[in-house]
Protein backbone atom coordinates (compact mmCIF):
# COMPACT_ATOMS: atom_id res chain seq x y z
CA UNK A 1 0.00 0.00 0.00
CA UNK A 2 1.07 3.55 -0.69
CA UNK A 3 -0.49 6.99 -0.92
CA UNK A 4 -0.03 9.60 -3.61
CA UNK A 5 -0.67 13.34 -3.53
CA UNK A 6 -1.57 14.34 -7.08
CA UNK A 7 -2.10 17.82 -8.50
CA UNK A 8 -3.52 18.18 -12.02
CA UNK A 9 -3.32 21.43 -13.99
CA UNK A 10 -4.97 22.53 -17.22
CA UNK A 11 -8.66 22.55 -18.09
CA UNK A 12 -9.55 20.33 -15.13
CA UNK A 13 -12.43 22.20 -13.49
CA UNK A 14 -15.94 22.29 -14.94
CA UNK A 15 -15.30 19.15 -17.03
CA UNK A 16 -16.47 16.43 -14.59
CA UNK A 17 -12.88 15.74 -13.54
CA UNK A 18 -13.74 15.14 -9.87
CA UNK A 19 -16.65 12.81 -10.60
CA UNK A 20 -14.64 10.90 -13.19
CA UNK A 21 -11.73 10.66 -10.74
CA UNK A 22 -13.99 9.18 -8.07
CA UNK A 23 -15.39 6.67 -10.57
CA UNK A 24 -11.91 5.60 -11.70
CA UNK A 25 -10.65 5.30 -8.11
CA UNK A 26 -13.66 3.22 -7.10
CA UNK A 27 -13.17 0.97 -10.15
CA UNK A 28 -9.53 0.39 -9.10
CA UNK A 29 -10.22 -0.10 -5.38
CA UNK A 30 -8.47 3.14 -4.38
CA UNK A 31 -9.48 5.22 -1.37
CA UNK A 32 -8.90 8.91 -0.77
CA UNK A 33 -10.41 12.16 -2.01
CA UNK A 34 -10.45 14.74 -4.81
CA UNK A 35 -11.17 18.47 -4.61
CA UNK A 36 -10.99 21.61 -6.71
CA UNK A 37 -8.40 24.17 -5.70
CA UNK A 38 -8.99 27.95 -5.81
CA UNK A 39 -6.13 28.29 -8.34
CA UNK A 40 -7.98 26.16 -10.92
CA UNK A 41 -6.08 22.94 -10.22
CA UNK A 42 -7.48 19.64 -8.96
CA UNK A 43 -5.91 18.05 -5.87
CA UNK A 44 -6.14 14.29 -5.24
CA UNK A 45 -4.97 12.01 -2.47
CA UNK A 46 -5.15 8.37 -3.51
CA UNK A 47 -4.21 5.28 -1.52
CA UNK A 48 -4.11 1.67 -2.65
CA UNK A 49 -2.05 -1.14 -4.11
CA UNK A 50 0.95 -0.13 -6.23
CA UNK A 51 -0.44 -1.57 -9.49
CA UNK A 52 -3.79 0.18 -9.04
CA UNK A 53 -2.09 3.49 -8.24
CA UNK A 54 0.10 3.18 -11.34
CA UNK A 55 -3.00 2.75 -13.51
CA UNK A 56 -4.75 5.59 -11.67
CA UNK A 57 -1.83 8.01 -12.02
CA UNK A 58 -1.65 7.27 -15.77
CA UNK A 59 -5.36 8.06 -16.02
CA UNK A 60 -4.79 11.37 -14.18
CA UNK A 61 -2.47 12.47 -17.00
CA UNK A 62 -5.45 12.23 -19.39
CA UNK A 63 -8.54 12.73 -17.21
CA UNK A 64 -12.05 12.57 -18.65
CA UNK A 65 -12.65 13.27 -22.33
CA UNK A 66 -13.60 16.93 -21.72
CA UNK A 67 -10.44 17.72 -19.78
CA UNK A 68 -7.08 18.96 -21.02
CA UNK A 69 -4.39 17.98 -18.55
CA UNK A 70 -1.27 20.09 -19.06
CA UNK A 71 0.74 19.07 -16.01
CA UNK A 72 0.55 16.49 -13.22
CA UNK A 73 2.63 16.54 -10.06
CA UNK A 74 2.81 13.37 -7.95
CA UNK A 75 4.34 13.04 -4.50
CA UNK A 76 4.40 9.78 -2.54
CA UNK A 77 3.53 9.96 1.16
CA UNK A 78 2.80 7.47 3.96
CA UNK A 79 -0.56 5.65 3.80
CA UNK A 80 -3.20 6.69 6.33
CA UNK A 81 -5.94 4.15 5.63
CA UNK A 82 -9.44 4.68 4.38
CA UNK A 83 -12.50 2.91 3.13
CA UNK A 84 -13.76 4.87 0.12
CA UNK A 85 -13.04 7.69 -2.31
CA UNK A 86 -14.93 10.95 -1.90
CA UNK A 87 -15.31 14.36 -3.52
CA UNK A 88 -14.67 17.17 -1.03
So which residues are the catalytic ones? Answer: 18, 36
Q: How far apart are CA 44 and CA 15, in angstroms?
A: 16
Count the Cβ atoms, other than its own, within 10 Å of residue 73: 11
Residue among 26, 18, 8 nearest 62 (CA) = 8
DSSP state, 38?
A: T
With beta carbons less than 8 A apart as the criterion, state whether 9 and 17 touch: no
Amino acid sequence: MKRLKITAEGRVQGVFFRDSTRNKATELGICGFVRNQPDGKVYIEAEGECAALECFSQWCHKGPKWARVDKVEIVECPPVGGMNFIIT
